[in-house]
Amino acid sequence: MILKAKVYNKIFAFQSFKEVMAKANEEKSGDELVGIAAKSASERVAAKLVLSNLTLEDIYNNPVIPYEEDEVTRAIYDGLNLRIYQEIKSWTVGYLREYVLDHKTTGEDLAHISRGLTSEMIAATAKLMSTMDLVCGSKKMRVQSHCNTTLGVPGTLAFRCQPNHPTDSIEGMMASLKEGLAYGSGDAVIGINPVEDNVETVTRLLETVKNFMIKWEIPTQNCVLAHVTTQMKALEKGAPVDLVFQSIAGTQKANDAFGVSAAILDEAFALAQHKGSATGPNLMYFETGQGSEVSLDAHLGVDMMTLEARTYGYARGYRPFMTNNVSGFIGPETIYSGREVIRADLEDLFMGKLHGLPMGIAPCYTNHMKADQNDQEMGTLLCAMAGSNFFMGVPGGDDVMLSYQDTSYHDDASTREILGLRPLPEFEKWLEKMGILENGKLTERAGDPSIFDK
């Protein structure tokens, strides 16, 4: 394993694979904060150069966190298809990048090798890719999943309608939900972040939305994004849970801080299968984001991007219906600017897809970052071109409960129309029946939440 590189007249020597992985990253404030980022532009390129020459076997032999010490590492290695790994272990990372981008390589091919790739291998590949590389690679991969409806159908773009309310007011939430549906948002899921993480609130929100879905025959899925254990209690009591949600991270220590473990997730998945209200087979909804391990002080000296890849490695065993990335939500100490967010979003989309996950992106930002609406819209369009399965839908782009900005209902409709993408098939039929959409375009009637108030 060669850890030394010469960039023109300068020689850079690295101590470990972990250091190479960190220094090969594009600039992000979280890696700076931890003190593992490249010290110069040349050092960054040197790290990429070293990385390009490493074989997948080198990486296999050097997990960034030891197998014995970390549940996430174990999930990644235990889930690996060793036969496929054996076939490709002599590939270098540089070759893997070219293989991904090669015209002859199809999405099917990538889905196949995906099973023989550890998360570090996938992260390493993405570190060698530019913005357009990431879009080209991502676009090839299409991951479908099914809960009540099918997500990821080619030619479609779906949205999670996110009608959050600062005090969990049912009426207030419903108002935002109706507005979202009237813009065609909500085919991925109707997903609410509650303020109060308790069984009563979660059940009340789930039942309200489910009844509304039944009354108006809306083909979608239902989810309240409380802590997984709260949702499990609600499920036990008979609440109509279509999707079980949880935030997860790339180290066992960070997952401990989130209050989750493989054992809890296993139990949740089993409970969703036995007592949930959805068809399945995909019943889980995960959220992830670069930097969560840093903000929880649980990064163990590993860079944010690699940890994010490991999170996907952890997630894939649960065959989620959807995995949403919220890197822009974590904060300026991890991702500082609009440029950093866009880069992270594209990396995450690519890495998630190469893990075989049905990825969506929230190209979002908070008010204490150096980012604005323009950055967000650029990120959204790039991720849509890269074939994100879904985005969020927030009224006017302003989440009044979580206090951050995300794709608006308007952005949802715009992105579909710009790229000629359609809602999920069942949902499109429903939108047409409601007179909201016609030939893939919003009708005159669209955007009016009062169409539900007869």
Question: Which residues make up the interface to other proteins (CB under 8 A)?
Answer: 29, 32-33, 163-167, 169, 171-176, 178-179, 183, 195-196, 332-333, 336, 366-369, 372-373, 395-398, 400, 403-405, 408, 410, 413-414, 417, 442, 444-451, 453
| Residue 369: CB minimum distance to other proteins, A | 8
Is 193 assigned to a binding site? yes
Which C-beta is closer to other proteins: that of 266 or that of 398? 398
| Residue 393: CB minimum distance to other proteins, A | 12
Is 359 assigned to a binding site? no
In whole angstroms, what is the distance from residue 120 CA to residue 116 CA? 12
| Residue 239: CB minimum distance to other proteins, A | 20
The shares of helix, strand and coil residues in the chain, as percent rounded to the nearest 5, are 50, 15, 35
Which C-beta is closer to other proteins: that of 146 or that of 410? 410
Which C-beta is closer to other proteins: that of 48 or that of 178? 178
Is 207 assigned to a binding site? no
Is 401 assigned to a binding site? yes
Q: How many helices (H) and strands (E) does the chain have?
A: 21, 16
Is 246 assigned to a binding site? yes
Is 432 assigned to a binding site? no
In whole angstroms, what is the distance from residue 34 CA to residue 163 CA? 35
User: 416 is written with which tokens?
Assistant: 């579909």
| Residue 410: CB minimum distance to other proteins, A | 5
| Residue 259: CB minimum distance to other proteins, A | 14
Strands 398-399 and 404-405: antiparallel
Which C-beta is closer to other proteins: that of 125 or that of 230? 230
Which C-beta is closer to other proteins: that of 217 or that of 453? 453
| Residue 218: CB minimum distance to other proteins, A | 18
CB-neighbour burial class of residue 176 (10 A; exposed 0-12, middle 13-18, buried 19+): buried
Which C-beta is closer to other proteins: that of 171 or that of 217? 171
Which C-beta is closer to other proteins: that of 166 or that of 301? 166
Q: What are phi and psi of 92, to 5 degrees?
A: -90, 165
Q: What are phi and psi of 164, to 5 degrees?
A: -65, 155
In whole angstroms, what is the distance from residue 409 CA to residue 186 CA? 9
Contact 46, 3 (CB under 8 A): no
Contact 125, 93 (CB under 8 A): yes
Is 162 assigned to a binding site? yes
In whole angstroms, what is the distance from residue 74 CA to residue 80 CA? 10
Look at the chain and count its residues: 454
Contact 328, 341 (CB under 8 A): yes
E strands, 130-270, are 145-146, 150-151, 158-161, 189-192, 222-224, 244-247
**What's the number of CA atoms in the CB half-sphere (13 Å) around residue 222?**
27
Is 194 assigned to a binding site? yes
| Residue 213: CB minimum distance to other proteins, A | 19
Is 325 assigned to a binding site? no
| Residue 272: CB minimum distance to other proteins, A | 27
Which C-beta is closer to other proteins: that of 64 or that of 431? 431
**Nearest partner of 375 among 343, 410, 334, judged by Cα:** 343
Per the annotation, where are the binding residues for substrate?
A: 160-162, 193, 287
Per the annotation, where are the binding residues?
A: 160-162, 193-194, 246, 287, 295, 401
Per the annotation, where are the binding residues for adenosylcob(III)alamin?
A: 194, 246, 295, 401
